[in-house]
Amino acid sequence: MVSKKWFETWFDSPYYHILYKNRNVAEAEFFINNLLEHLGEVTNKTALDLACGKGRHSIYLNSKGLNTIGIDISPQSIAFAKQFESSTLHFFVHDMRFPLQNHKFDYVFNLFTSFGYFETENENLDCLKSIKNMLNPDGLLVIDFMNTTKVINNLVANETKNIEGISFELSRKIIDGKIIKDIKFNSQEKDFHFQEKVSALTFQIFLSMFVKADLEYITCFGNYNLDPYLEHSSERMIFIVKNKLGV
57-71: pLDDT as tens digits = 999 999 999 999 999
243 pLDDT more than 90: yes
Mean pLDDT to the nearest integer, 207-225: 97
pLDDT of residue 1: 42
At 65-106, the pLDDT tens digits run: 999 999 999 999 999 999 999 999 999 999 998 999 999 999
Residue extents of the structural domains in the chain: 14-150+201-246
User: What CATH fold (topology level) applies to the domain 14-150+201-246?
Assistant: Rossmann fold (3.40.50)
pLDDT of residue 247: 46
Residue 8 — very low, low, confident or very high, per pLDDT cuts 50/70/90? confident
At 18-45, the pLDDT tens digits run: 998 877 678 889 999 999 999 999 999 9
| DSSP of the chain | -PPPPHHHHHTTSHHHHHHTTT--HHHHHHHHHHHHHHH---TT-EEEEET-TTSHHHHHHHHTT-EEEEEES-HHHHHHHGGG-BTTEEEEE--TTS--TT--EEEEEE-SS----SSSHHHHHHHHHHHHHHEEEEEEEEEEEE-HHHHHHT---EEEEEETTEEEEEEEEEETTEEEEEEEEEETTEEEEEEEEEE---HHHHHHHHHHTTEEEEEEESSTT-PBP-TTT-SEEEEEEEEGGG-
Mean pLDDT to the nearest integer, 237-243: 98
The predicted model scores a pTM of: 0.91
